[in-house]
Structure 1
Amino acid sequence: MENSAIVESAIRSLANTMRLYGEAQMRFGNLVQVDPEEAVDNVDRAFEAKLEAFHTLYDVSKEHFPYFEHGDTGLLIAIRNAIHHRNHPLFHSLNWRLRLDDGGAARLLGASFLLAFHPTLHGSPVRMSHHVKLDDVDARLDPNRQSPYLDVSLRRIKAAERFSLIDRQLRLPAIREFGSREGYPGDQVYLDLMPIFVSAVSKVFTRLSATGFKFRGFDAETYLVPFTTELQVDLADVKFAELRLRGWGPLDLIPIPIE
């Protein structure tokens, strides 16, 4: 199979996982009331499938796009690798923690979570979300943390350079500073990966389309226009919301925007 066909096949697979993830998200609201485990697992596994498909696209197209020169694409690859090997307890979603973790919401009644996300350039948020602890990102990628879960696949200098790029381009220091100033415990500060995913895919799809690769298949054709001309995430900006756990169940979650 020629290189163009390999890349186009990877684009098609990624677009397919994106559709399947969207469908899992749309079913979540009704399904979680009947079977929380299935609802959460469906969405989380669908998100992981997107990361796998993104990594496959990276594998076959890295000569066409500098994945490790961008914080968004670099972070997605790093998290995919972490989840793929799963030799640590990191990167469980907020939904998993509240609905499936032992004790879950019952242990966290009254807790407030800081949710950080990058808005689109036109100001509105990405409609779907997938939150992971910012502490997990640090524990996996920051050599200065001396975490037992640190990614040791890179030499320390390279690991430090990778983390510095991700940290700076995604404005993670601003999230840590805000969380600390407002008194949130470290394990209650969450980063939304969906805007980062949208930003990364938009960059890669735009470059590959401009290079001449074809977007073949219904899903790829559907996502081509929005991800190359419409969806632009502002990684230079960070917004916050607070999620308060009230009542007696994980469905009593009240998001409160923070100005």
Structure 2
Amino acid sequence: MLKSPKSFEESVKSISEAFDSFSHALRINTEHLMRAPKLLRIDPQECARNLDQGLSAILNAFHSIYDAAKDDPRIVFEWNRTAPTATLLAIRNARHHNHANRIRSLETFFTRGSQAGRSKNYGLFTYGPPPEVGEPAFIQAISWEDTDALLNMPHKASHLSAERVATIYSYVGGEAMAAFASLQDARLPIFFDALPLIVNAAKAIVSVLGPHIKTLSVESETFLDHFKTSSWFLALIPLFDRHGLSCSKSKRAIAPTTRAHLAHVAALVGFHCLWAVQHLLKP
């Protein structure tokens, strides 16, 4: 029996609640990122778990927006053909179905027991214009090896069409990362920054779902406004050829200490959602 389509009011309610959860997940994850440098020195496993759970919460909340919107005939959007959303949904589904090592995060990769004693060097890529003040404020990187494995899985397992695989591979800069990896020691892991990909996907859906989103909190109001006005991350940038991850003295994240510095960093480099969280923290 066919389900009758949701009314506009029902659709707005479902999408708004999902977007609100997405906004809260972004805020909580950014708080984890802000605490990460200190916690990484004290308890690397807890730090890695917090960040991994934060990323999963974002991805699951994004999928909830997709679930709320996909069956509304008033919303015309090709989720699995639009590169930013197709990529984020594929990563989420891989984690949900335990495919390709669940697309490990950088911190998870280096703090699991099986990695004990190995070199902490890795290759790292992010997206956007070359930073003007050094490293991005926050980086939350995921494994290229795992992502590449996902894209090479049989369709029966991954449910990714050849067209979608090609779209994702091109979008994340797969050719450049594969070329870089081929010039390195085979044991050097390669990671790429997931945060700009989250921003791009959010911008893509906000441009379509705007009329269906009613803000339910300060978080959703702030992030909705931010995604409407922030810039796209497009260019792939190799940040470090070999960047050491040390649990005693990590440079994986920078924790700004003043509002002025927060605003400066958010305007020039790093995760655009940092601006929104800083805005939320204003007295």
TM-score range, shorter chain: 0.7 to 0.9
Give the TM-score, by structure 2 length: 0.75
What amino acid is the match of 2:157?
A: V
Superimposed CA distance per residue, residues 137-160 of structure 1 (whole angstroms, 9 cap, x where no aligned partner): 1211225xx6xxx76253xxx621
CA distance in 2, matches of 1:254, 1:12: 32
Residue 139 of structure 1 corresponds to: 149
Among the aligned pairs, what percent are the same residue?
Answer: 24
Aligned counterpart in structure 2 of residue 51 of structure 1, from 55, 59, 81: 59
Instruction: Give yes or no for contact 2:16–2:213 (8 Å, CA) kept in 1.
Output: yes
**CA-CA distance at 1:66 after TM superposition:** 1.9
Give aligned pairs, total: 238
Instruction: Give yes or no for contact 1:70–1:166 (8 Å, CA) kept in 2.
Output: no
Superimposed CA distance per residue, residues 73-125 of structure 1 (whole angstroms, 9 cap, x where no aligned partner): 11111111111121552412111222333343x3215xx32111111598787
Aligned counterpart in structure 1 of residue 103 of structure 2, from 74, 91, 94: 91
CA distance in 1, matches of 2:171, 2:97: 26
Alignment map for 1:99-114 (pairs within 5 Å): 99-104=111-116, 106-108=117-119, 112-114=121-123
The runs of 5 or more residues in structure 1 that have no matched partner are: none
CA distance in 2, matches of 1:200, 1:206: 10
**CA-CA distance at 1:241 after TM superposition:** 2.0
Instruction: Give yes or no for contact 1:142–1:159 (8 Å, CA) kept in 2.
Output: no
Superimposed CA distance per residue, residues 117-138 of structure 1 (whole angstroms, 9 cap, x where no aligned partner): 1115987876322222212112
Give the TM-score, by structure 1 length: 0.81
Aligned counterpart in structure 2 of residue 77 of structure 1, from 77, 83, 89: 89
CA distance in 2, matches of 1:151, 1:54: 24
CA distance in 2, matches of 1:178, 1:223: 35
Residue 152 of structure 1 corresponds to: 157
SS in 2 for 1:67: coil
CA distance in 1, matches of 2:47, 2:173: 31
What amino acid is the match of 1:99?
A: T
Superimposed CA distance per residue, residues 9-68 of structure 1 (whole angstroms, 9 cap, x where no aligned partner): 111111011111011111112222222221111111011010000001011113533211
Alignment map for 1:229-244 (pairs within 5 Å): 229-234=229-234, 237-242=235-240, 243-244=242-243
Q: 1:66 and 2:78 equivalent?
A: yes
Q: CA RMSD in A?
A: 2.6
CA distance in 2, matches of 1:253, 1:151: 40
The 1:187/1:57 distance shift into structure 2, 3 A limit, reads farther
What amino acid is the match of 2:149?
A: A
What amino acid is the match of 2:40?
A: V
The 1:102/1:170 distance shift into structure 2, 3 A limit, reads closer
Instruction: Give yes or no for contact 1:131–1:192 (8 Å, CA) kept in 2.
Output: yes
What amino acid is the match of 1:17?
A: A
Q: 1:250 and 2:243 equivalent?
A: no
SS in 2 for 1:244: coil
Q: Tell me: higher relative CO, structure 1 or 2? Use CA pairs within 8 A at least 6 residues apart.
A: 2
Higher strand proportion? 1
What amino acid is the match of 2:127?
A: H
Instruction: Give yes or no for contact 2:207–2:228 (8 Å, CA) kept in 1.
Output: yes
**CA-CA distance at 1:207 after TM superposition:** 2.1
